[in-house]
Amino acid sequence: MNVNYLFSLVAVLLLFALAYLGVKVPGGQLLFGIIIPYVAFIAFLAGFFNRVMGWGRSAVPFRIPTTCGQQMSLPWIKQNKIDNPTTTWGVIARMFFEIVTFRSLFRNTRAAKKDGDRLQYKLEIFLWIGALAFHYTFLTVLIRHLRFFTEPVPGFVQMIERVDAFFQFGLPVVYLSGIVLLAAVLYLFLRRIFIPNVKYISLASDYFPLFLIGGIALTGIMMRYFTKVDITAAKELTMGLVTFHPTIPEGVGSIFYVHLFFVSVLLAYFPFSKLMHLGGVFLSPTRNLPTDTRARRHVNPWNYPVKVHTYEAYEDEFREKMIEAGLPVDKQPEPQAPEEKE
């Protein structure tokens, strides 16, 4: 049986319990409110940096972009300048659409057997929609949270908030991003459970971040709409953290500490996990290189000489046969034994 998701769910529940109960013991608030967030943030920065530098240290010996369109060739043949870019601008455009719109994922199709003898491929955009919804709402939530880390709150944060609360219902006003984020997490989880092939390939390390992010969203929503956390006190704590004058204000509920702890765990976990696709997507050599390998020379830093079979060795082996067949040779065979004349 596939226990990977149970394993991750239990892990996240344990983390919840740890923080929920931990802040009730003496010193717990200090630990979960100040020490762990700092440690996590440092782990995130150092880990992220280390990982990217690790990739950077590895060579890019060959240019191996996957081309997804017509190459640059004869002047009257229209090149696909984005999917088969020969210029830096083309590469930038390709990467931009890849990172901002998940272009490759948009191509996704689903294959199915039909009518007894047919394979059919249908456009399958739900993963693309789910992924976009997930990443963009996450980004929105993140930006919205800058309200807690800045004084005065910058205009663009307020603007994002206004857009996010566009529908103006509920009190306090309901932010769409939180709801959509939770829904997207749920979708991404359900597809891992219900699509047999995806379930088959899913590991605990695929479920864990989903549960963790789901937990973050859930505790956030709980604080805002249900337990009604003391916002002023929460902001006092976060401002203390960013200004390096950390304090533990009175009256911040346990759920806040759980929320903060989940975020800390996510930060610390990030560099050691698949979440590093955030950094890696920029460095992928199949996407971020121009396809000009025939037009421009590229140097491999570890290129070394190899043993080749030279023409001379080849001719030495086949000279007689080549001459007999009338093929030109570089070296004529030794003149036949002059002693015959003698």
Partner 1 sequence: MSDLPKSDEYFSQIDHKPPKLTGWMDTPINIRKGMYCYASNPKSVETLGLPYARPWNPLEDDWQLPENWQQIIHEGLKERLERFRSFKIFMDICVRCGACADKCHFFLGTGDPKNMPVLRAELLRSVYRNDFTAAGKILAKAGFGKQIGARPMTLDVLKEWWYYFFQCTECRRCSVFCPYGIDTAEITIIGRELLNLLGLNIDWIATPVANCYRTGNHLGIQPHAFKDMLEFFVDDIEEITGVRVDPQFNKKGADILFITPSGDVFADPGTYTCMGYMILFHFLKEKYGFDVTWSTYASEGGNFGFFTSHETMKRLNAKMYLEAKRLGVKWILGGECGHMWRVINQYMDTMNGPADFLEEPVSPITGTKFENAKSTKMVHIAEFTADLIKHGKLDLDVRRNDHLKVTFHDSCNPARGMGLLDEPRYVIKNVCNHFYEMPANTIREQTFCCGSGAGLNAGEDMELRMAGGLPRANAVKHVHKKHGVNMLACVCAIDRAVLPALMEYWVPEVDVTGLHELVANALILPGENDRETDLRGEPLPGTEDDTNE
Instruction: Identify which of residues 106 and 149 has a Cβ nearer to partner 1 in the complex.
Output: 106
Shortest separation between residue 83's beta carbon and partner 1, angstroms: 7
Instruction: Identify which of residues 171 and 295 has a Cβ nearer to partner 1 in the complex.
Output: 295
Choosing from 202, 238, 254, 264, the residue that interacts with partner 1 (CB under 8 A) is 202
**Which of these segments, 25-33, 107-115, 142-150, 244-252, binds partner 1 (CB under 8 A)?**
107-115
Distance CA 106, CA 121 (A): 14
- Tell me which residues in 129-158 interact with partner 1 (CB under 8 A): 131
DSSP string for 87-139: SHHHHHHHHHHHHHH-HHHHT-EEEEEETTTEEEEEE--HHHHHHHHHHHHHH
- Rule CB under 8 A: is residue 221 a binding residue for partner 1? no
Distance CA 151, CA 265 (A): 26
Instruction: Identify which of residues 72 and 241 has a Cβ nearer to partner 1 in the complex.
Output: 72
Angle, nearest 10°, between helix axes 204-221 and 176-194?
A: 150
- Rule CB under 8 A: is residue 333 a binding residue for partner 1? no
Please report the beta strands in 109-212, taking only residues with DSSP state E, as ranges in sequence order. Answer: 109-114, 118-123
- Rule CB under 8 A: is residue 272 a binding residue for partner 1? yes
Choosing from 152, 155, 328, 338, the residue that interacts with partner 1 (CB under 8 A) is 328
What is the size of the binding site for partner 1 (CB under 8 A)? Answer: 104
Shortest separation between residue 172's beta carbon and partner 1, angstroms: 34
Nearest to 214 by CA among 63, 22, 13, 55: 13
Q: Phi, psi (5° rounding) for residue 113?
A: -80, 135
Distance CA 276, CA 285 (A): 16
Choosing from 2, 44, 93, 143, the residue that interacts with partner 1 (CB under 8 A) is 2
- Rule CB under 8 A: is residue 108 a binding residue for partner 1? yes
**Which of these segments, 29-37, 144-152, 228-236, 325-333, binds partner 1 (CB under 8 A)?**
325-333
Residue owning tokens 């300048």: 81
Q: Are 238 and 263 in contact (CB under 8 A)?
A: no
- Tell me which residues in 47-76 interact with partner 1 (CB under 8 A): 51, 54-64, 66-74, 76
Q: Are 301 and 59 in contact (CB under 8 A)?
A: yes
Choosing from 26, 326, 335, 338, the residue that interacts with partner 1 (CB under 8 A) is 326
